[in-house]
Amino acid sequence: MISDQAKKEINTWVAKYPEGKQSSAVMQALTIVQKENGGSLTNELKQAVADYLEMPTISVQEVATFYENYNHKPVGKHVVRFCHNISCMLNGSDELISYLEEKLDVKTGEISKDGLVSVKRVECLGACVGGPMCQIGDQYYEKLTKKRIDEILDGLK
Ligand code: FES
């Protein structure tokens, strides 16, 4: 269930922690496994991570459901993680999220018909001064406007 390549990557993280504390690498392991499996985690994958790190399944579930960077149902090729927390909300995130949903013809949590994009509302991403902002992959996009959203979406392939 976890590929050899993914295990190799996970092992580099496990090696950063004291012996017997491999469960400390659970977030990285979930991230690696999620990325390798189209951007979301099934219960089987979470179980596989628990088995690999020799930790209780419930502990993996707790981490996977606490943090917003894990997806529990299929997502588009690109996930627009749009912050709707206080700074971003005060600077117009709700209106921009609605604009994004309208433009893509999706609701938050859904995948665009072409499978390219899904939209997720998330809590603070720590870039409050740049709000309204979103994250796509490893990239942050700040001070968003409708025009900027158009440009970003045009750049997604
Ligand atoms: S409130 Fe949006 S990044 Fe902090």
Three-state DSSP class for 136? strand
The pLDDT of residue 92: 97
pLDDT, tens only, 71-129 = 999 999 999 999 999 999 999 999 999 999 999 999 999 999 999 999 999 999 999 99
Q: Look at strands 78-83 and 134-136 and give their pairing.
A: antiparallel
Q: What is the distance in A from the centroid of ligand 1 to the CA of 67? A: 15
30 touches 38 (CB < 8 A): no
Identity of residue 31 = T
The domain locations on the chain are 4-66, 78-155
Three-state DSSP class for 81? strand
With a 6 Å cutoff on the Cβ, whether 86 touches ligand 1 is yes
Measured in whole angstroms, the distance separating CA 126 from the mean position of its chain's CA atoms is: 15
Specify whether domain 78-155 bears CATH 3.40.30.10.
yes
Q: From CA 84, how far away is CA 26, in angstroms rounded?
A: 27
Which stretch of DSSP H or E encloses residue 9? helix 4-14
Q: What is the distance in A from the centroid of ligand 1 to the CA of 105? A: 25
Q: Is the link from the previous residue into 132 a cis peptide, with omega within 30 of 0?
A: yes
> Which of 120, 122, 124, 135 is the pocket-test mutation for ligand 1 (most atoms within 8 Å of CB)?
124
With a 6 Å cutoff on the Cβ, whether 131 touches ligand 1 is yes
pLDDT, tens only, 34-45 = 999 999 999 999
pLDDT, tens only, 45-70 = 999 999 999 999 999 999 999 998 89
